């Protein structure tokens, strides 16, 4: 999955259109400016809570539409105070972002945090769902792919650090790469707040009536489930539902407090609870500085 998404000929690292009507999928910022307006309001509120205008870091900024709309949604004086940083692994996407925005670009969060000395507001929209995952079945065998992309189940010699092991679903994903990223990159954050927007939820929600788990592929706005999802690596998106319970747990390990978890519909103030507004969740976490006793 890592090779298919981020290898030399990977889906996100190759110069091809992946967003919009000519791409493979569409994100909320391409459909409405409401998300950007709400995030802009959140940034200004966070500045007041923090007592300072912390730099903003966006993870996986897509084609730069969200950042541009956030900036335009801020008032004149707020825009002048905005120090915006982009974390993007793809040089092709970074170029598209730079056509729409001003700011500072980095290839890792650790690099960005080092530049701004560790305190920031971090935002992401559909960032974690593109991390590579391991896949297990109810017997805790692990999934591998054969030469013809056929599924092969093998006994797992080292089980993952997953809360699902006690009562595993028929098939489930474990985002070990996200857990490692929390420990390696996000742990360098000294203080600030994090707003994570992605589709997913708790285990009971995301695995309900899903015997194949949540892994799937998107190409030309069509969805493919296993085994079709494994075909054409590098030419289609591979994604999964984010387990927000794990994000919260891994956050606690590095000193992040959960402030709130709500649906995107609640965050935006819309009634789209049965559509994307209910499928997407918004997680707000905070990390206090060493001398913050509030």
Structural domain contains residue 293: no
* Domain coverage including residue 187: 2-287
Structural domain contains residue 292: no
Contacts of 196 (CB under 8 A, 6+ apart): 123, 124, 127, 128, 247, 282, 283, 284, 285
Position 221 scores a pLDDT of 76
Structural domain contains residue 294: no
Position 234 scores a pLDDT of 86
Q: Is 156 exposed, middle or buried (0-12, 13-18, 19+ CB in 10 A)?
A: middle
Q: What is the CATH classification number for the domain harbouring 195? A: 3.40.50.12710
| Nearest 10 degrees: Cα torsion 142, 7, 130, 64 | 180
Structural domain contains residue 125: yes
Tokens of 176: 């070990």
Which of 66, 72, 68 shows the shortest CA–CA distance to 31?
A: 66
Structural domain contains residue 239: yes
Q: Is 166 exposed, middle or buried (0-12, 13-18, 19+ CB in 10 A)?
A: exposed
Structural domain contains residue 10: yes
pTM of the model: 0.92
When divided into structural domains, the chain yields a total of 1
Position 157 scores a pLDDT of 87
pLDDT tens series, the chain, 294 aa: 999 898 888 888 877 666 555 554 556 666 789 999 999 999 999 999 999 999 999 999 999 999 999 999 999 999 999 999 999 998 888 999 999 999 999 999 999 999 999 999 999 999 999 999 999 999 999 999 999 999 999 999 899 999 999 999 999 999 999 999 999 999 999 999 999 999 999 999 999 999 999 999 998 878 999 999 998 888 888 999 999 999 999 999 999 999 999 999 999 999 988 888 999 999 999 999 877 755
Read off the DSSP letter of residue 181: H
Please give the Cα distance from 252 to 285 (Å, whole number).
10
122: helix, strand or coil: strand
């Amino acid at each position: 999955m890592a090779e298919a998404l981020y290898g030399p000929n990977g889906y996100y690292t190759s110069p091809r259109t992946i967003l919009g009507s000519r791409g493979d999928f569409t994100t909320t910022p391409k459909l409405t400016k409401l998300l950007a307006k709400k995030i802009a309001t959140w940034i200004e509120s966070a500045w007041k809570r923090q007592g300072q205008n912390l730099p903003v870091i966006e993870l996986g900024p897509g084609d730069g539409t969200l950042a541009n709309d956030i900036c335009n949604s801020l008032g004149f004086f707020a825009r002048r105070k905005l120090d915006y940083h982009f974390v993007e692994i793809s040089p092709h996407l970074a170029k598209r972002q730079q056509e729409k925005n001003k700011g500072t670009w980095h290839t890792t969060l650790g690099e960005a945090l080092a530049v701004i000395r560790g305190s920031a507001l971090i935002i992401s929209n559909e960032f974690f769902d593109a991390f590579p995952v391991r896949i297990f079945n109810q017997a805790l065998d692990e999934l591998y792919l054969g030469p013809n992309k056929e599924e092969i189940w093998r006994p797992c010699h080292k089980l993952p650090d997953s809360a699902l092991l006690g009562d595993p679903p028929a098939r489930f994903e474990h985002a070990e790469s996200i857990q490692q990223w929390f420990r390696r990159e996000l742990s360098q954050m000294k203080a600030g707040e994090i707003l994570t927007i992605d589709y997913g939820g708790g285990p009971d929600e995301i695995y309900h009536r899903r015997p194949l788990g949540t892994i799937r592929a998107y190409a030309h706005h069509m969805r493919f489930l296993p085994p079709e999802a494994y075909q054409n690596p590098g030419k289609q998106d591979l994604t999964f539902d984010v387990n927000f319970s794990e994000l919260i747990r891994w956050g606690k390990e590095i000193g992040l407090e959960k402030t709130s978890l709500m649906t995107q519909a609640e965050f935006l103030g819309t009634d789209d609870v049965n559509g994307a507004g209910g499928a997407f969740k918004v997680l707000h976490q905070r990390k206090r500085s060493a001398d913050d006793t509030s």
